[in-house]
């Protein structure tokens, strides 16, 4: 793949950009022909058609792609292994008016999954208890002590969401007390599974549903769809009339985007319909979060991931782990505003902690890499890091050094808790699971793009060696293809709010459905300055005199930032993604710069 890509002609003649990449058109000749055909058949902008063709949308699929219907994209929930068992046990609990406890994860997917299950049970008069473990003192997933506590409080059924599939000891504790556990999860598993009343997980090895791309919130939604049908069949009626399942899609959209699962197929439909639900302004907690984040204009998938999600995560990272799920389930607007403000304050505190940890990690990683290629997988560990930010640190390392990265917070107990983030094509979850089986890790798990682990301090060297042997070749192969895929070229005057609105029809964009990247040929950097936490703010000008506001986030100390700052008044090829800026109450186009290059003599 890397060789074939290197033989393609470069876009605008950019063979090595500020970020060290070669620019290529996302479409080959066949893709360009598909784009023309889509534009002609549907009467849409050829630029939008190019974006669709570049994401493998064919001519015959184009119309339904632009008008997705959840009814046609939804899989049969009963195609998931154990779904019938889970639904039967949950329906029995509702009919029997049993006390239910929901055990969730402390991230956004866990909070939304727990809130969704709680809200559905509430519609049938079951006031379930949500339990989110403390990240630092309890760690990820169910633990025997928490299970015992829930049973002591009267739990007759425990439902785990976004966790539980590797919790052998905790589920055994529940079984010894004759309390059933229903597991609803999506993380990768080994062949062996804990004993439970049901384990619904499209990534368990005996599941053939083909729904392994779902976030936990999506799996929970399929479960309540099946459960709602089962209850209808039993003649069990909700307390206040029929349940509007579509109302829950705001939670599904938020969990799906923030867990960085592919935004294709039913996930794309979940997010599109979920954004509509958010705009209908029905959930006090969601609206309070939007107001606190000072979000202007219609909510987009990108804003779910970059503005709302981090605030909910802040509770689980450095504060009250259950604050996010409580915010999403409250019906009291005043209470919602108070909780949203607390999460906003925690998020600000989290950002400061993260900045300090990232600076330490970059120094350590640069030392390890030295003047050569360095390790295939970065593994950084420090005693003074807050365990709640290690995933964010890993993400920054991955982005900066373009390879999988782990950040590990070491404790006085001679162990460390860490998180990893991966690059496309490198399955981190599988590698971590194998490391557990080999005895290199105390515990660990995850999915392809993200994983968590607990490791003994004296096994760090062995872990680094394992990653190098296990992933070295595939990471090297993925890093060889240093290519930026360009969807098309634009002039500053062509980057309009109308164009951006048209491009949204081919969205939402995210993992597996990348945001369109446009090149602006030979645009002058009218001005450039450093603002905020190392961002570079610019204004671009075309030869025709049109201007476009632009920003390069966290770029001031990078090659990209320096190229922008040192070339004021000079033409550069600029590449980036477009969004609408609502600052001041007026919608204006803005470019997020992700790369730049000095034009050759042709420009």
Q: How does strand 518-531 pair with strand 450-456? A: unpaired
Contact between 177 and 58 under an 8 Å Cβ cutoff? The reply is no
Domain ranges of the chain: 2-27+487-597, 73-345, 370-480
Residue 319 has what pLDDT?
83
Q: Is residue 2 predicted with pLDDT exceeding 50?
A: no
3-state secondary structure 499-565: HHHHHHCCCCCECCECCCCEEEEEEEEEEEEEECCCEEEEEEECCCCCEEEEEECCCCCCHHHHHHH
**DSSP secondary structure string, 254-313?**
HHHHHTT----HHHHHHHHHHHHHHHTT--HHHHHHHHHTT--SS--HHHIIIIIHHHHH
pLDDT one-digit tens code per residue, 463-493: 999 999 999 999 999 888 789 999 999 999 9
Average pLDDT over residues 175-199: 96
Average pLDDT over residues 6-26: 89
**Between 296 and 352, whose confidence is greater?**
352
Average pLDDT over residues 137-164: 95
The owner of tokens 């399942």 is: 245
**Chain Cα centroid distance, residue 204:** 21
Q: Is residue 4 predicted with pLDDT exceeding 50?
A: no
Residue 171 has what pLDDT?
98
Alpha helices in 370-459 (DSSP H): 390-401, 428-437
Residue 600 has what pLDDT?
87
Residue 536 has what pLDDT?
97
Mean pLDDT over all residues of the chain?
93
pLDDT one-digit tens code per residue, 516-530: 999 999 999 988 999
Please give the CATH topology (third level) of the domain spanning 370-480. Diaminopimelate Epimerase; Chain A, domain 1 (3.10.310)
Residue 481 has what pLDDT?
77
**Between 87 and 505, whose confidence is greater?**
87
Residue 190 burial by Cβ neighbours in a 10 Å radius (0-12, 13-18, 19+)? middle
**Residue 85: band (very low, low, confident or very high) from pLDDT cuts 50, 70, 90:** very high
Q: Is residue 3 predicted with pLDDT exceeding 60?
A: no
Residue 413 has what pLDDT?
81
Residue 448 has what pLDDT?
87
Task: Return the beta strands (E) in 288-377 as ranges.
Answer: none
Average pLDDT over residues 234-260: 94
Q: Any residues with CB less than 8 A from the CB of 175 and at least 6 apart, and which? A: 181, 195
pLDDT one-digit tens code per residue, 359-377: 999 999 999 888 778 899 9
Q: Which DSSP state fits 115?
A: H
Q: Is residue 411 predicted with pLDDT exceeding 90?
A: no
Residue 7 has what pLDDT?
54
Average pLDDT over residues 289-307: 92
Please give the CATH topology (third level) of the domain spanning 2-27+487-597. OB fold (Dihydrolipoamide Acetyltransferase, E2P) (2.40.50)
CA dist., res. 100 & res. 150, Å (int): 9
Residue 363 has what pLDDT?
94
Q: How does strand 450-456 pair with strand 443-447? A: antiparallel
Report residue 8: phi and psi, to 5°.
-75, 150
Residue 1 has what pLDDT?
33
* 73-345 CATH: 3.90.1640.30
Nearest to 543 by CA among 490, 496, 491, 589: 491
Q: Do domains 2-27+487-597 and 370-480 have the same CATH topology?
A: no
Q: What's the start-to-end Cα distance of the chain, in Å? A: 30
Q: Is residue 327 predicted with pLDDT exceeding 80?
A: yes
Residue 316 has what pLDDT?
87
**Residue 603: band (very low, low, confident or very high) from pLDDT cuts 50, 70, 90:** low
CA dist., res. 403 & res. 21, Å (int): 15
């Amino acid at each position: 793949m890397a060789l074939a890509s290197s033989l393609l002609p470069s876009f605008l003649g950019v063979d090595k950009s500020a970020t060290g990449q070669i620019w290529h058109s996302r479409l080959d000749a066949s893709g360009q022909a598909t784009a023309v055909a889509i534009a002609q058949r549907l009467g849409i902008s050829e630029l939008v058609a190019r974006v669709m063709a570049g994401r493998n949308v064919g001519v015959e699929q184009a119309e339904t792609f632009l008008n997705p219907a959840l009814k046609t994209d939804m899989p049969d929930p009963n195609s998931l292994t154990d779904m019938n068992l889970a639904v039967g046990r949950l329906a029995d609990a509702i009919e029997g008016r049993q006390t239910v406890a929901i055990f969730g994860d402390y991230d956004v997917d866990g909070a939304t999954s727990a809130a969704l299950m709680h809200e559905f049970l509430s519609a049938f008069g079951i006031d379930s208890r949500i339990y989110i473990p403390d990240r630092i003192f309890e760690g990820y997933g169910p633990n025997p002590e928490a299970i015992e506590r829930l049973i002591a409080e009267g739990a007759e059924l425990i439902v785990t969401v976004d966790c539980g599939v590797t919790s052998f000891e905790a589920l055994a504790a529940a079984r010894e007390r004759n309390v059933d556990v229903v597991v609803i999860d999506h993380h990768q598993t080994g062949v062996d599974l804990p004993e439970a009343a049901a384990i619904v997980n499209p990534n368990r090895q005996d599941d053939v549903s083909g729904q392994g791309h779902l976030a936990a919130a999506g799996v929970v939604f399929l479960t309540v769809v099946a459960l709602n049908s089962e209850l209808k069949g039993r003649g069990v009626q909700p307390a206040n009339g029929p349940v509007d399942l579509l109302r829950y899609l705001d939670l599904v959209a938020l969990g799906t985007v923030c867990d960085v699962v592919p935004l294709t197929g039913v996930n794309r439909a979940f997010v599109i319909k979920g954004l509509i639900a958010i705009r209908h302004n029905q959930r006090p907690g969601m609206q309070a979060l939007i107001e606190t984040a000072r979000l202007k204009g219609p909510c987009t998938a990108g804003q779910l991931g970059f503005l709302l999600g981090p605030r909910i995560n802040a509770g689980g990272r450095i504060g009250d782990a259950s604050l996010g799920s409580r915010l999403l389930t409250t019906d009291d607007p005043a209470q919602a505003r108070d909780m949203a403000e607390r999460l906003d304050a925690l998020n600000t505190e989290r950002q400061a902690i993260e900045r300090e940890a990232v600076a330490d990690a970059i120094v350590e990683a640069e030392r390890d890499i030295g003047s050569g290629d360095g390790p295939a997988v970065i593994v950084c560990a420090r005693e003074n890091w807050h365990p709640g930010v290690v995933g964010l640190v890993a993400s920054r390392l991955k982005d900066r050094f373009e390879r999988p990265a782990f950040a590990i917070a070491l404790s006085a107990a001679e162990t460390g808790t860490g998180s990893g983030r991966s690059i496309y094509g490198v399955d981190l979850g599988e590698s971590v699971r194998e490391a557990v089986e080999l005895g290199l890790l105390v515990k660990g798990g995850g999915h392809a793009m993200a994983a968590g682990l607990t490791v003994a301090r004296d096994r760090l060297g062995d872990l680094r060696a394992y990653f190098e042997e296990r992933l070295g070749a595939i990471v090297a192969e993925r890093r060889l293809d240093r290519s930026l895929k360009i969807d098309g070229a634009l002039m500053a005057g062509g980057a309009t709010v109308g164009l951006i609105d048209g491009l949204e029809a081919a969205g939402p964009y995210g993992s597996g459905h990348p945001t369109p990247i446009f090149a602006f040929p030979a645009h002058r950097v009218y001005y450039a300055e450093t603002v905020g936490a190392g961002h570079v703010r610019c204004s671009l000008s075309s030869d025709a005199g049109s201007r476009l506001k632009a920003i390069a986030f966290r770029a001031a100390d990078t090659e990209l930032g320096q190229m922008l700052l040192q070339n004021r008044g000079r033409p550069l090829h600029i590449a980036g993604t477009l969004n609408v800026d609502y600052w001041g109450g007026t919608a204006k186009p803005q470019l997020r710069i992700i790369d730049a290059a000095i034009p050759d003599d042709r420009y």
